[in-house]
Chains A and B, each alone.
Chain A
Amino acid sequence: MLPHALLRVSAHLEGERAVPHYLSARDEPWLRVLLAESARLVGQKRAAWHERLRDPQLVRAPKAKLQVALRVLEPLCRERPVAAVPPKEGRAALFRAAASRAETSRAQVLNSVAARFAVSAADLEAAIFADLPIEQRVAAVPERLSPARLATEANLAIASSLVRRATHVRVAVHGDARALVRHARRVGLICGVSRLERSPQSVALDLSGPLALFHHGQVYGQALASLIPWLANCEQFELTATCALSGDGVLSSFVLCSGDPIGTGHRVRAPEPLLERKFERDFPRIAPGWSLLGEPEAIATGETLLFPDFELVPASAPDRPWRLQILGFWTRDYLREKLRRLQAAGIERFVLCIDHRGDCADGERPMDPRIVVYKTRIDPRAVLAIIR
């Protein structure tokens, strides 16, 4: 995340709206110089890299944009130097020797400890802090990092940092919102889903954390920012984040749309969580007459949409599929409401899998035959017993 001071100069306010200063094709010439200079500094200390690349005579760039680019670039091109002596052992030996021979000169202590390691005093001195950040060296710039790519990464850092300071996010999505909703649910956000009146093919997601009802805070910022890579899975989107940028409690809005230069053009596929992976592996083994589909279509329950995790389709009746949803945290009221909505929408072929630790209140769960309680894995036999 970009620090507040840098973020403040990486966007300006137009009324209540925060407008980010994205890097564009016009910035590519100086980004090219930046990458070339970085390549020239390979092997030198990071401090030298910082000093050189911040030189305004060398890299003629807008100051704030340059700082953002450097923050993105730095972790990609650093490495530890090779040390003649394991640094930790070198420190332990050298500083203890110095303490035990207070009357001896620095050079004598260095020579005597270096001899013990069979290296020169200079090598020992170079080694003692070699594992620490101050001694890290500049590594070669990754090949994939073109000026355009660096600009995109910098823009993503700006957008993510703005959303990290959000208290509420609304995303209007045209196309497949399943992955986004599932991710939001996994990271513990309250996610209201409704159809957009102006475009029935689109849905609006309202995302915030429970505590956001009372005041603005950054406790959900990380969860909200983690949505951004998932936007790539939607055909079109418009994300509006309500953020506190000024530090005086005044809220601004930041809008991120499909087409903005943040590199969400590639569909992101996060690794399937372990629980889902296990179920995908286990279920077909015991239910050969069924096929298992991941991330099926959303289904409407009144005004809201419900996003199942799997569709279980019997070979004998492919038009009568069951849907299965996995819940992490839940409360008794939440389950009751969910079951009520399913019933009201006339959806009967639905299985809810709930974590045995997930009930925040540890209350009695509603008695419903379509509920399966899991611990570390979902029992495929319990699911099969319901859907049969």
Chain B
Amino acid sequence: MHLLFDHGTLVLADAPDLKAGRVPGLRWDPRVALFRAPAWRYSEVCAALRHALPPLRDEVRPKALPEPAAWNALDLRPYQRAALLSWELSGRYGTIVLPTGSGKTRVAIAALRAAGARALCLVPTRALLAQWCSTLRAAYRGTVGCLGDGRRDLEAITVATFESAYRLMPRIGARFDLLIVDEAHHFGAGIRDETLEMAIAPQRLGLTATPPSDPAASRLAQLVGPIVYQLEIADLAGRWLADFDLLTVQLGLNPAERAKHDEDQRLFSAYRRRQRDCDPAAPWQDFVALAARSPEGRAALSAWRRNRQLLQFTEAKAAAVGALLARHRDSKVIVFTADNEAAYRIAREHLVMPITCDISRAERQAALSAFSAGELRSLVSARVLNEGIDVPDADVAIIVSGTQGEREHVQRVGRLLRPVPGKRALIYHLATRATAELRRAIERRHTLAPARTASR
């Protein structure tokens, strides 16, 4: 029997009398008259066929791949050591949950060093690709490969964007023994999960600050490994992360905004109530799917969208941003908005550098360096600074609005928590009174760290 890698799957050839049911994941593929299994089940397939007859010839891994070079010594904080140990004890197959700014990349480097295996590190964005490559170059004595942002160098230690890995995994899925997935919460919900399915790597490490909930959590546990270590912001704030105050600033609507809001809210609530009476337990997705099927439902959804748009950047929020920027003109401030449009409005009005997906990576990097050096005092961003990128030290954040829920909120707060002696970060969360936005803001405040919050 020969086990081969074929476009992100495993093909078992010369296995005339095999009962496929004995081997996990293996199925008969009538298209090519061979047995086939998804690549991520490689170790299970090998284990099941270890004593099979005729003996298995494993020809999955290509020959002539370079061995990884040596790694530089690395100091870890106690919780980073504990996280690494948990991962090792879990058979090097698991997810580590640590808050933003706590040094997840450092744990990943320690894992790479401990495993000594050929590894592929997956990152969600091009900005993170550059950041990971540069961090690895400082820790690894060999050449770091890079897939994405116009580069295609494959090395024993390679970093790839999710998008490049998705496209190239049918070719490169058999080349790595360790898969590191940064911001692993992006997987599990079905989108791009094939990237992880098409790799044979038996050792996997997921890194995230905000693990998903079921069913994505179960799928992620299957493809990257279960959560093996978890700490929250509250566990590290004060010592390993900067301490912080989270202030919820309650703002009003002007009469025109209030009239629009209340009218749309009435329209939406009436429809929502009727649907709830029919099916009280229906999740939001089902409600949206149902609403999309009737004119009345579509009108209700449009009203909901209009309201969400309205609350993202009200007149009072615009004024509050101006006042807070003036108040903290000597601090380093990051303003977070829901969309680029609001970010550009703030950028224009208050002459604040925007960091958005429209701005090139080089220019963003230059702006972050200038912010770090104090040449820029404030930045405004919609989503780009939400996760991953190492944001230079900042003292104040103004969260104007968001669209991605609690995960986004936690990530944004984490941006401010880079520890500096004597630092106490200040986070303003702007929310509109007598709206669902305020209720959510209060819920999130309690989720994060009840002891450090206040309301103004």
Residues of A within 8 A of B (CB): 5, 8, 88, 91-92, 94-100, 102, 106, 109-110, 125, 128-129, 132-134, 188, 190, 192, 206, 208-211, 213-214, 217, 219, 247, 329, 331-334, 360-363
| 24 A-B residue pairings within 8 Å (CB atoms) | A92-B363, A92-B366, A94-B351, A95-B353, A95-B376, A99-B378, A106-B349, A110-B351, A132-B359, A188-B170, A208-B31, A209-B7, A210-B9, A211-B197, A213-B29, A214-B38, A331-B11, A331-B13, A333-B14, A360-B62, A361-B6, A361-B59, A362-B59, A363-B59
Interface residues of B in 1-47 (CB under 8 A from A): 2, 4-9, 11, 13-14, 25, 27, 29, 31-32, 34, 36, 38
B166 lies within 8 A of chain A by Cβ: yes
Q: Inside 8 A of B377's CB, which chain A residues have their CB?
A: 99, 102
B344 lies within 8 A of chain A by Cβ: yes
Q: Inside 8 A of B356's CB, which chain A residues have their CB?
A: 132
Q: Inside 8 A of A5's CB, which chain B residues have their CB?
A: 292
When chains A and B are docked, how far (Å) is the Cα of A217 from the Cα of B166? Answer: 12
Cross-chain contact of B344 among A134, A213, A219 (Cβ < 8 A): A134
When chains A and B are docked, how far (Å) is the Cα of A213 from the Cα of B59? Answer: 21
A360 touches B13 (CB 8 A): no
| Most A C-beta atoms less than 10 A away, residue of B2, B32, B36, B378 | B32
B370 touches A333 (CB 8 A): no
Interface residues of B in 150-191 (CB under 8 A from A): 166, 170-171, 174
Cross-chain contact of B351 among A95, A211, A217 (Cβ < 8 A): A95
Known A210-B36, A211-B194; contact A362-B31, beta-carbon cutoff 8 A: no
A304 to chain B, nearest CB (A): 12
Top 3 A-B residue pairs of the complex, sorted by shortest distance between their CB atoms = A98-B351, A361-B4, A95-B353
B340 lies within 8 A of chain A by Cβ: yes
When chains A and B are docked, how far (Å) is the Cα of A109 from the Cα of B61? Answer: 61
B348 lies within 8 A of chain A by Cβ: yes
A357 to chain B, nearest CB (A): 9
B258 lies within 8 A of chain A by Cβ: no
Q: Which residue of A lies closest to B326 (CB)?
A: A102
Q: Which residue of A lies closest to B193 (CB)?
A: A217
Interface residues of B in 238-271 (CB under 8 A from A): none
B5 touches A214 (CB 8 A): no
Known A88-B363, A134-B340, A188-B170; contact A360-B29, beta-carbon cutoff 8 A: no
A214 touches B2 (CB 8 A): no
Residues of B within 8 A of A (CB): 2, 4-9, 11, 13-14, 25, 27, 29, 31-32, 34, 36, 38, 59-64, 166, 170-171, 174, 193-194, 197-198, 289, 292, 329-330, 340-341, 344, 347-353, 356, 358-360, 363, 366-367, 370, 375-378
B6 touches A210 (CB 8 A): yes
Q: Inside 8 A of A363's CB, which chain B residues have their CB?
A: 2, 4, 59
Q: Inside 8 A of B5's CB, which chain A residues have their CB?
A: 360-361
Other CB < 8 Å A-B pairs besides A361-B4, A362-B61, 12 of them? A5-B292, A8-B292, A95-B347, A109-B351, A134-B341, A188-B7, A210-B7, A219-B8, A360-B62, A361-B6, A362-B62, A363-B2
B375 touches A96 (CB 8 A): yes
Q: Which residue of B lies closest to A103 (CB)?
A: B329
A211 touches B2 (CB 8 A): no
| Most A C-beta atoms less than 10 A away, residue of B4, B34, B62, B370 | B4
B27 touches A213 (CB 8 A): yes
Q: Inside 8 A of B376's CB, which chain A residues have their CB?
A: 95-96, 99
Q: Which residue of A lies closest to B57 (CB)?
A: A363
When chains A and B are docked, how far (Å) is the Cα of A88 from the Cα of B359? Answer: 9
B407 to chain A, nearest CB (A): 22
A219 touches B4 (CB 8 A): no
A220 to chain B, nearest CB (A): 9
When chains A and B are docked, how far (Å) is the Cα of A361 from the Cα of B367? Answer: 46
When chains A and B are docked, how far (Å) is the Cα of A121 from the Cα of B315? Answer: 25
When chains A and B are docked, how far (Å) is the Cα of A331 from the Cα of B29? Answer: 16
Q: Inside 8 A of A100's CB, which chain B residues have their CB?
A: 375
A360 touches B7 (CB 8 A): yes
When chains A and B are docked, how far (Å) is the Cα of A192 from the Cα of B8? Answer: 19
Known A109-B351, A360-B174; contact A333-B378, beta-carbon cutoff 8 A: no
Q: Inside 8 A of B348's CB, which chain A residues have their CB?
A: 125, 128-129
When chains A and B are docked, how far (Å) is the Cα of A129 from the Cα of B350? Answer: 14
Known A99-B375, A134-B341, A190-B31; contact A360-B351, beta-carbon cutoff 8 A: no
B330 touches A102 (CB 8 A): yes
A264 to chain B, nearest CB (A): 26
A97 to chain B, nearest CB (A): 8
Q: Inside 8 A of A208's CB, which chain B residues have their CB?
A: 31
Q: Inside 8 A of B329's CB, which chain A residues have their CB?
A: 102
Cross-chain contact of B13 among A91, A94, A97, A333 (Cβ < 8 A): A333
A333 touches B366 (CB 8 A): no
| Most B C-beta atoms less than 10 A away, residue of A109, A110, A214, A363 | A214
B78 to chain A, nearest CB (A): 38
B9 touches A211 (CB 8 A): yes
When chains A and B are docked, how far (Å) is the Cα of A209 from the Cα of B8? Answer: 10
Known A213-B29, A217-B194; contact A361-B62, beta-carbon cutoff 8 A: yes
A112 to chain B, nearest CB (A): 12
Q: Inside 8 A of B353's CB, which chain A residues have their CB?
A: 91, 95
When chains A and B are docked, how far (Å) is the Cα of A329 from the Cα of B174? Answer: 14
B341 touches A206 (CB 8 A): no
When chains A and B are docked, how far (Å) is the Cα of A110 from the Cα of B350? Answer: 11
B270 to chain A, nearest CB (A): 23
B60 touches A361 (CB 8 A): yes
Q: Inside 8 A of A109's CB, which chain B residues have their CB?
A: 351
A5 to chain B, nearest CB (A): 8
Known A92-B366, A96-B376; contact A360-B341, beta-carbon cutoff 8 A: no
When chains A and B are docked, how far (Å) is the Cα of A209 from the Cα of B169? Answer: 13
Q: Which residue of B lies closest to A94 (CB)?
A: B351
B36 touches A213 (CB 8 A): yes
When chains A and B are docked, how far (Å) is the Cα of A332 from the Cα of B6? Answer: 11
Q: Inside 8 A of A8's CB, which chain B residues have their CB?
A: 292
When chains A and B are docked, how far (Å) is the Cα of A360 from the Cα of B169? Answer: 12
Q: Inside 8 A of A209's CB, which chain B residues have their CB?
A: 7
When chains A and B are docked, how far (Å) is the Cα of A16 from the Cα of B435? Answer: 43
B4 touches A211 (CB 8 A): no
B249 to chain A, nearest CB (A): 22
When chains A and B are docked, how far (Å) is the Cα of A206 from the Cα of B29? Answer: 13
B351 to chain A, nearest CB (A): 4
Q: Which residue of B lies closest to A95 (CB)?
A: B353
A165 to chain B, nearest CB (A): 12
A360 touches B366 (CB 8 A): no
